[in-house]
Chain A
């Protein structure tokens, strides 16, 4: 009898049918994937504690007791001091002038509302701590930490029958978290959307899997198809974590302009750039990223100064729905995302393609 290759220890841990984790900022997408037999983690990094509690209740009402996850971007380092206003005052005039030049050249409109940088968890451990406390109070089935180490919260979470997943970009981070007892490790490669490390998915996944023992390893970075899922399992992962394809699902609340750009994008349309935040992240190319890549551009500022510069452009583009200016995080697998489908269908297509891939390699699995 042939073992079902998609029945992994991640499925057993989470009580799911398919080893696919959708990372999304949209509650409707999360619910659709969970009720389809996969798993979903809702990104809540920029939400207030009250909003997080409300979202948890909303999901609970719709998943009939199934597990779900909440992801926070726990900070891992913060500058020693400085309010946002203090930081803004330190931005050099050269970079300010270049940002103004871009704004004039592309007729970037002003944001419709104020650019809100003051309720930011990134420089504020206390806000992140308050977000975490909501997850503990609500006994969220899975806490995922999208950046910093979740080790300090492990005991408190386990006492509440909660699971803790850590996302890592380096093997030594995985080793630290595995030794502490995290319940699963997401090994994220350079191919990923948003923030990434500099190790490719094909390298980091087997390296982490080799040290993980019975702890499930989840592959992330460039995953958009069933072939990726099959490959990840062959690399030693117990599942995949993906984001880009859910952005274009029918349920996704991402602006239709961005959905259409993602569907039309190839890997060459993504940019691994520091120009948005001062930290490397992979996004769809836009005038802002392209102008800062020109040889005559001034040096990109470090975080958080560069984000203070880019925030006006990004919010102005988004508020006014300027297709020629907008951007979004996108992984290198975006070129394989070519149609808008319901989230459940995306999940089923991934599963079917993965099974077809295995059958193509080893023959009939039945």
Chain B
């Protein structure tokens, strides 16, 4: 499998964002959606080529009930970064 490549995007660090998230359900062919909102750390990771980019969203202000972590990796295509000043 392709190596994951980590990086940092300073222009996104500290920006607020929403993530229309979700993933497959283990052991089944089901999947589910999950919504998150928080602050981007600027950290990202790319998987494979063409790169499949994921950003770390932290200090979550919206997350599923009972979600215990305070951060989540969000796929870039499902990440909606809020405009500055909003």
Interface centre among B25, B50, B65 (most CB of A within 10 A): B25
Closest B residue to A308 by beta carbon equals B26
Residues on A lying within 8 angstroms of B by beta carbon are 25, 43, 45-46, 73-80, 84, 90, 115-117, 120-123, 125-127, 129-130, 132-133, 146-153, 155-156, 169-170, 172-173, 176-177, 180, 194-197, 276-281, 299-305, 307-308, 311, 314-315, 329
Out of B4, B25, B29, B36, which one reaches A77, CB within 8 Å? B36
**Which A residues lie within 8 Å of B47 (CB)?**
125-126, 129
Are B50 and A279 in contact, CB atoms less than 8 angstroms apart? no
The answer to whether B19 has its CB under 8 Å from any CB of chain A is: yes
Whether the Cβ atoms of A279 and B32 lie closer than 8 Å is: yes
Known: A77-B21, A149-B75, A173-B20. Contact between A156 and B50, CB under 8 A? Answer: yes
Of the residues A120, A150, A196, contact of B26 by C-beta under 8 Å: A120
Interface residues of B in 14-70 (CB under 8 A from A): 19-34, 36, 45, 47-48, 50-54, 56, 64-69
A-chain residues with CB within 8 Å of residue B33 when the two chains form the complex? 76, 147, 169, 195-197, 279-280
Contact residue among A75, A276, A308 (Cβ-Cβ distance under 8 Å from B24):
A75
**Which B-chain residue is minimally distant from A176 (CB atoms)?**
B77
A76 to B22, CA, bound (A): 5
Q: Which 6 pairs, one residue from A and one from B, show the smallest C-beta to C-beta distance?
A: A279-B32, A149-B77, A77-B21, A75-B23, A122-B24, A122-B23
Question: Which residue of chain B has the shortest Cβ distance to A312 in the bound complex?
Answer: B27
CA distance A196 to B71 in the complex (A): 23
Does the CB pair B36–A73 fall under 8 Å?
no
Contact B32 A117 (CB under 8 A): no
A122 touches B26 (CB 8 A): yes
Of A148, A278, A299, A311, most buried by chain B (CB within 10 Å of CB) is A148
With A120-B24, A123-B23, A148-B77 in contact, do A77 and B52 touch (Cβ < 8 Å)?
Answer: no
A-B interface contact total, Cβ < 8 Å: 195
Chain B positions within 8 Å of A148 at CB level: 22-23, 75, 77-78
**A116: chain B residues within 8 A (beta carbon):** 27
Whether A194 and B27, one on each chain, are in contact in the complex, defined by CB atoms closer than 8 angstroms, is no
Collect the chain A residues with CB atoms within 8 Å of residue B52's CB. Answer: 125, 129, 132, 152-153
Do B29 and A25 touch (CB < 8 A)?
A: yes
Contact A173 B78 (CB under 8 A): yes
For the complex, give the distance between the alpha carbons of A155 and B51 in Å.
Answer: 11
Residue contact A73 to B23, C-beta cutoff 8 Å: yes
Cα of A303 to Cα of B23 in the assembled complex, Å: 9
Give every chain A residue within 8 A of B26 (Cβ-Cβ). 84, 117, 120, 122-123, 304, 307-308, 311
Residues of chain B contacted by A77 (CB below 8 angstroms): 19, 21-23, 34, 36, 72-75, 78
Provide the residues of chain B in CB contact with A308, threshold 8 Å. Answer: 26
Known contacts A148-B75, A195-B33; is A76 also within 8 Å of B23 by CB? Answer: yes
| Chain B residues with CB below 8 A from A123, complex form | 23, 26
Complex CA–CA separation, A330 to B71 (angstroms): 32
- Does B80 belong to the interface (CB within 8 Å)? yes
Residues of chain A lying within 8 A (CB to CB) of residue B66: 278, 299-302, 305
27 interchain pairs, CB-CB under 8 A: A45-B24, A45-B29, A75-B22, A75-B23, A76-B23, A77-B72, A78-B23, A80-B69, A121-B23, A125-B4, A125-B45, A125-B54, A147-B33, A148-B77, A150-B77, A152-B77, A169-B33, A172-B20, A177-B77, A195-B31, A277-B30, A279-B64, A299-B65, A302-B64, A314-B27, A314-B28, A329-B30
